[in-house]
Chains A and B, each alone.
Chain A
């Protein structure tokens, strides 16, 4: 019944009639983590932004539960889909104020002050992401890893069913990377959250996703999609990234690990 919770059909995306990607098809079930990988400039972020309609799709549809996301009323969509973008540094508000903005979709028209339930939700996700102690700090004064966690807490405060994430682990040290990816795994297991994320690190993509989408810059379309093992192979990486690599299975998890081959 929950098959094809997210259904991307023949999506073509780009800016101002300049097509970046075409004929993108993939599906995701509830509680599935999908990772989009591909070389720089292959249109990963563009694809991610086209799913909720931030960028108008040139062709095709993104369906959530059979409903066209681009036709969904904005407020309803904000309750179902949240997106974690690269956080800006120049936002002058406290971490708590920032996370509370995630409750806006639940505000009634011209509601002025948050309900106690909104405060509780914000507290819950601040706790969940482990940044409750930063509540009163200014967003411009915390580290980039903490800021990344705050953007995730804000997205979770929207209590979405679909979470889109644009490179959630970029600029983070390995412990923060592990923390965020552990969080994503928890979310999908406990809340049946569907996650679509853009990831540069092939090892992290292989380790933490159920489905991997590999985009090719030259043909401007999906090169291969499937389980990490099917997609992250020496041949595919060579074809898309033009780089010689060795792919070996991680002895701990059995997932594919990518290593550079010295020429």
Chain B
């Protein structure tokens, strides 16, 4: 006798699965350890290589030593920027992919990074930092990012339903327009403004201003916490607005909060480090395969993995043509572009 099809099917699933909270704890712990390792690597590697004990002494030992100068003065701020910006961009990407129900969406492909950079350029040209101080940069970035999200969303929405392909195309076009506008601004600006813009736009984690570093770190953690509060609702939103509202979710409010969070995270990152491409695309994509698409685990694991990824990319950017260094955006752009093409070629992607 053959077993009935249902009996065969019974063995196809995986009934023995680790309980959810335990599995999540394991994922988070693993990623946290990985992040600490990459931070240690980033602190140790460079023109002057430092041993683990050297790093330890540099951070906690006498502040007068050369090690301490290298670690606290140069490498640690940069590592903090890597963690904050990588985490922020990945969380922003995760939120946007969930909201648009499209795995190809991220701050860069939607033109949000472009909008933020245009905002920062305008802010530089109009001399706003002189008036408002360093806060002018993140504010301008946030304003630019928010404007683009609003534009993409309202143009891509028709009679109550999202049109994802239209949105993606609008986003790509806005990217082009804003980078052209940035070039226009560069062409008409005075030479000292020009060098400021060029220096900033290259996409580097080298940020001399301590206040801005603190602001970016604080902002990205705040964004992470806020998105975690909405992670359960985001799971429902991936079913579509109608289904989510039938589950008792206020879809309009949830969307608004998450869009603002995503533009805040993007605006902050771009204002401090220029355009760093594709981090928000690759990290959530791989985390979805690795940790699952439940946003309660996807959001924190994307943050940790993004922090890890950008820190490591920066190490590569610093050592590959040492003593010169590449902008980190170049490294993420190359890796990200290849991954983007790979993802596009997979038929699982629903556009």
Residues of chain A whose beta carbon lies under 8 Å from any beta carbon of chain B: 15-16, 49, 52, 54, 74-79, 81-83, 85, 88-94, 97, 101-102, 104-105, 107, 110-114, 130, 133-137, 140, 158
Contact = CB atoms under 8 A, between A and B. Distances in A.
A102 B239 CA distance: 11
B15 A113 contact: no
A113 B20 contact: yes
22 contacts: A54-B242, A74-B250, A76-B248, A81-B246, A83-B246, A85-B243, A90-B350, A92-B288, A93-B238, A93-B292, A93-B293, A94-B292, A102-B247, A105-B247, A107-B232, A111-B232, A112-B231, A112-B296, A113-B21, A114-B20, A134-B12, A158-B247
A15 B248 contact: no
B255 interface: no
A74 B21 contact: no
Contact of A85 (B231, B242, B250, B293): B242
A151 to B, nearest CB: 9
A35 to B, nearest CB: 20
Interface string B218-240: 00000000000101100110111
A123 to B, nearest CB: 11
Nearest to A96: B17
Contacts of A111: 232
Contact of B247 (A88, A101, A130, A133): A101
B187 interface: no
Given A74-B248, A74-B250, A85-B243, A101 B293 contact: no
A91 to B, nearest CB: 7
Interface string B1-33: 000001001101111010011000000000000
Contacts of A75: 248
A19 B292 CA distance: 43
B235 A101 contact: yes
Contacts of A74: 245, 248-250
B163 to A, nearest CB: 14
B13 A136 contact: yes
Contact of B239 (A54, A88, A112, A133): A88
| Chain B interface main SS type | loop
Nearest to B250: A74
B247 A15 contact: no
Contacts of A136: 13-15, 17
Contacts of A88: 239-240
Nearest to B160: A15
The 5 nearest A-B residue pairs measured at CB: A78-B248, A90-B350, A75-B248, A136-B14, A133-B10
A152 B350 CA distance: 24
Nearest to A113: B21
B325 interface: no
B293 A78 contact: no
Contacts of B288: 92
B159 interface: yes
B245 A101 contact: no
Given A92-B293, A113-B21, A133-B9, A104 B159 contact: no
Contact of B232 (A81, A83, A112): A112
A54 B245 contact: yes
A78 B248 CA distance: 5
